[in-house]
Amino acid sequence: MKVNAAHVSEIEHRYRGENPFRTLLYLFEEQKFRVGMAFLIFSIKHSPVWVIPLITANIIDIVTSHGSTKALLINILILVLVTLQNWPLNILYVRFQSRAIREVENRLRSALVERMQQLTMGFYLRTNAGVLQTKIIRDVENIEQMVRSLSDGGFVAVNGTIAALLITGIRVPIFLPFFLVLGPIIGFLISRLRSKLNANNERFRGEVESMSARVNEMTTLIPITRAHGLEQSALESMYKSFGNVKSAGLKLDAFNAKFNAIAWVTFQMANVSCLATAGYFALKGEFGITPGDVVLLTSFFGQLIGSVILLTNLMPLISRGFSSITSLGEVIESPDVEQNSGKPLLEDVEGRVTFDQVTFQYPQSNVPAIANTSFEVKAGEMIALVGPSGSGKSTLINMVIGFLRPQSGRILIDGRDLSSYDLRSYRKHISVVPQESVLFDGTVFDNVSYGMPSVTDKQVRDALKAANAEDFVNELPNGVETLVGEKGARISGGQKQRLAIARALIRNPRILILDEATSALDSQSEHAIQDALNTLMKSRTTFMVAHRLSTVQRANCILVLKAGKVVERGTHAELVGAGGLYQELYEAQSFLSDSDASQ
Ligand SMILES: Nc1ncnc2c1ncn2[C@@H]1O[C@H](COP(=O)(O)OP(=O)(O)OP(=O)(O)O)[C@@H](O)[C@H]1O
Ligand SMILES: [Mg+2]
């Protein structure tokens, strides 16, 4: 755990809102040695590229001047050795390169998930889960690919340029200006063209992205589309999206063809001009240029131009990688972190919960979801929250959990202000059965014992029994070992809720929170669970949200919420005849159940 905690602070330190290139350097700072070794080894393994033209030039000069066979053999031998070393050194190069990249990739991902576990729930209310997944998977991958191609392509280009300029400078210095002028001109031309190509690329990518969003939308909406007979309009919108991809794709392909042709012709023409100039000088015997030099100059000039083109080709990858670096910064640098570290632990929770003038407003909203609310629940009591949809029940519950912090007022646990304690220690004493139960892709056993490593089979069975889930679990193909969740057995909403209740019970919490925990159950199973819950609630503080008022009648206190305010409070007996909102809700429900019964 400690090792992990270091990841974020370390990487956060490296982010500092700088430009992406600086950030990249920071990220790889610890990998200096590996990167340096990779470059060194690369330069050696890549040496054939500049040795071959040199040797070729030598051989041509030996041949044209009828030199010795020995000189020829020596040159050939060097060529063979220089070529063979490429084999082991390439393996070594990839080892250093890959270690450095994979290390940073791994760290980035670890830092991201750690930070996600520290961010406040408020952050998740604002941020789409898909976007976060993309950051961990795609953005990190983009950075990895950028660095990989920067290293492969960048090393080639740097090596090629240095070798070309150096050897030409030594062998035929008179040609240096020719290289130094033509190289940048061609680079400029190609990158101008390239930026047009990028614009086309972007347009195409945009169309593909919107198509994938459409496809996603269509597949999730299929049951609704079919139920309403809207197949045709769904298909038409898909056809339109495919059509856009097609026309953007055709444009891109056409431009690509043009770009490639122009780049190739420019490249060859530059080579021809070099060949012509060098050939002319050699023919006239000027500047001491030999036939070998003609070959050498042409090869190196080709290398120089090749390097320039290679670098311009890397541009899109680099800009994609840089935008991914920025995108990761949004999470890694987000200030919206739950402040836990360094705060004292909240241990020995008894379960007295006090709200003292608490107000909370969602950032996107302009009315408070909880306004100036005060109440106290004694340890072991059951408090029920009722009220119309949107009145603030779930919000209040989330404040008890510490997911949402009050903008004003205080929440006290056993008289201690929640905001000055480590919330993680406090939450060990809470169990929550949320409005929408979440099961993950594992067995019934795993789901019920989630987060409790040393649970016995008996404990799980007892919890299932208490949650009235034992019968249906026994009927599943593999009992408690049956896979539930996406790829497992399909279980019903009510069955899911019962597993979630079992999961809450097995933790033996001091504070139990049930947000509509029994809403998906029929009256009979609700009744059965209610009995189990009643026994379990005895020894702990329970918050219960329920629409069905039959479930809350035993509560020590019922808070009736309306538009974020507690408008009534008291026991069922007190409220049912008080002529307020509770009575209104109660009568509406008895009317409903009467008419249910008469059917
Ligand atoms: N993430 C959010 N951002 C902005 N406003 C929100 C958010 N969640 C809830 N609200 C608003 O806060 C108010 C209270 O919502 P809350 O979910 O607490 O109601 P509730 O009483 O639990 O309703 P229900 O019975 O339907 O579950 C509502 O007006 C709702 O629109
Ligand atoms: Mg709710």
pLDDT higher than threshold 90 for residue 369: yes
- Shortest-distance Cα residue to atom 17 of ligand 1: 394
Please give the full DSSP string across 470-482, using - where no structure is assigned.
Answer: HHHHHHSTTGGG-
The whole-number average pLDDT for the span 343-368 is: 90
The last residue of one of the domains, among 231, 264, 288, is 288
Within 10 A of 183 (CB to CB), how many other CB atoms are there?
19
Considering the domain architecture, whether residues 197 and 149 belong to the same structural domain is answered as no
Considering the domain architecture, whether residues 248 and 129 belong to the same structural domain is answered as no
Considering the domain architecture, whether residues 281 and 416 belong to the same structural domain is answered as no
Exposure class string for 204-224: b at 16+ Cβ within 10 A, else e:
beebeeebeebeeeeeeeeee
Structure tokens at 552: 């809350």
Residue whose C-alpha is closest to residue 258's, from 183, 317, 200, 320:
200
Considering the domain architecture, whether residues 491 and 358 belong to the same structural domain is answered as no
d(CA 305, CA 296): 14
Q: Is the Cβ–Cβ distance between 571 and 557 less than 8 Å?
A: yes
Residue whose C-alpha is closest to residue 58's, from 49, 77, 71, 44:
71
Q: Say yes or no: CB of residue 154 within 6 Å of ligand 1.
A: no
Residue whose C-alpha is closest to residue 377's, from 405, 411, 351:
351
Please give the full DSSP string across 78-139, using - where no structure is assigned.
Answer: HHHHHHHTHHHHHHHHHHHHHHHHHHHHHHHHHHHHHHHHHB-HHHHHHS-HHHHHHIIIII
Ligand 2 centre from 183 Cα, in Å?
67
Considering the domain architecture, whether residues 490 and 580 belong to the same structural domain is answered as no
Considering the domain architecture, whether residues 3 and 93 belong to the same structural domain is answered as yes
34 or 526, which is more confident? 34
d(CA 531, CA 554): 11
The whole-number average pLDDT for the span 141-148 is: 91
Which range has the worst mean pLDDT, 126-130, 140-144, 188-192, 573-577? 126-130
If one counts the domains in the chain, the total is: 4
- pLDDT score for 516: 81
Report if residue 322 sits inside a domain: no
Considering the domain architecture, whether residues 592 and 447 belong to the same structural domain is answered as no
- pLDDT score for 594: 53
145 or 187, which is more confident? 145
Instruction: Read off the pLDDT of residues 278-294 as tens digits, 9 standing for 90 and up.
Output: 889 888 888 888 888 88
Element housing 357 (H / E): strand 353-360
Local confidence band at 14 (pLDDT 50, 70, 90 cut-offs):
low
Local confidence band at 17 (pLDDT 50, 70, 90 cut-offs):
low
- Shortest-distance Cα residue to atom 31 of ligand 1: 390
Q: Which of 120, 386, 394 best tests ligand 1's pocket when mutated (most atoms within 8 Å of CB)?
A: 394
pLDDT higher than threshold 90 for residue 65: no
Percentage of the chain modeled with pLDDT above 70: 93
Local confidence band at 565 (pLDDT 50, 70, 90 cut-offs):
very high
Q: Which ligand is nearest to the CA of 368?
A: 1
Domain ranges, residue 123: 1-172
- Shortest-distance Cα residue to atom 16 of ligand 1: 392
Considering the domain architecture, whether residues 201 and 273 belong to the same structural domain is answered as yes
Q: Which of 359, 393, 549 best tests ligand 1's pocket when mutated (most atoms within 8 Å of CB)?
A: 393
End-to-end Cα, the chain, rounded Å: 59
Instruction: Read off the pLDDT of residues 228-239 as tens digits, 9 standing for 90 and up.
Output: 888 999 999 999
Q: Say yes or no: CB of residue 361 within 6 Å of ligand 1.
A: no
pLDDT higher than threshold 90 for residue 442: no
Q: Which ligand is nearest to the CA of 398?
A: 1
* HSE value, Cβ hemisphere, 13 Å, CA-based, for 247: 5
Report if residue 498 sits inside a domain: yes
Residue whose C-alpha is closest to residue 326's, from 8, 15, 13, 11:
15
pLDDT higher than threshold 70 for residue 591: no
Local confidence band at 16 (pLDDT 50, 70, 90 cut-offs):
low
pLDDT higher than threshold 60 for residue 3: no
- pLDDT score for 15: 64
Q: Is the Cβ–Cβ distance between 238 and 215 less than 8 Å?
A: yes
Instruction: Read off the pLDDT of residues 535-545 as tens digits, 9 standing for 90 and up.
Output: 667 778 999 99
Report if residue 464 sits inside a domain: yes
Report if residue 395 sits inside a domain: yes
- pLDDT score for 596: 46
Q: Which of 124, 336, 361, 365 best tests ligand 1's pocket when mutated (most atoms within 8 Å of CB)?
A: 365
d(CA 12, CA 344): 24
Ligand 2 centre from 516 Cα, in Å?
8
pLDDT higher than threshold 50 for residue 599: no
> Phi then psi for 456, rounded to 5 degrees?
-90, 165
- Supply the mean pLDDT for the chain: 85
Ligand 1 centre from 585 Cα, in Å?
19
pLDDT higher than threshold 90 for residue 8: no
Local confidence band at 4 (pLDDT 50, 70, 90 cut-offs):
very low
- pLDDT score for 569: 92
For tokens 């061609």, the residue is 186
Q: Say yes or no: CB of residue 394 within 6 Å of ligand 1.
A: yes
Q: Which ligand is nearest to the CA of 515?
A: 2
Considering the domain architecture, whether residues 461 and 390 belong to the same structural domain is answered as no
Report if residue 490 sits inside a domain: yes
Local confidence band at 34 (pLDDT 50, 70, 90 cut-offs):
very high
Report if residue 118 sits inside a domain: yes
Atom nearest to 126 CA in ligand 1: 1
Report if residue 300 sits inside a domain: no
Considering the domain architecture, whether residues 557 and 420 belong to the same structural domain is answered as yes
Considering the domain architecture, whether residues 200 and 94 belong to the same structural domain is answered as no
414 or 577, which is more confident? 414
- Shortest-distance Cα residue to atom 5 of ligand 1: 362
Instruction: Read off the pLDDT of residues 506-541 as tens digits, 9 standing for 90 and up.
Output: 888 899 998 887 776 777 777 777 766 776 677 789
The last residue of one of the domains, among 142, 172, 202, is 172
Considering the domain architecture, whether residues 210 and 229 belong to the same structural domain is answered as yes
Ligand 2 centre from 410 Cα, in Å?
22
d(CA 99, CA 94): 8
Q: Say yes or no: CB of residue 365 within 6 Å of ligand 1.
A: yes
pLDDT higher than threshold 70 for residue 554: yes
Cα dist. 394→239, 354, 387, 516 in Å? 42, 17, 11, 9
- Shortest-distance Cα residue to atom 2 of ligand 1: 362
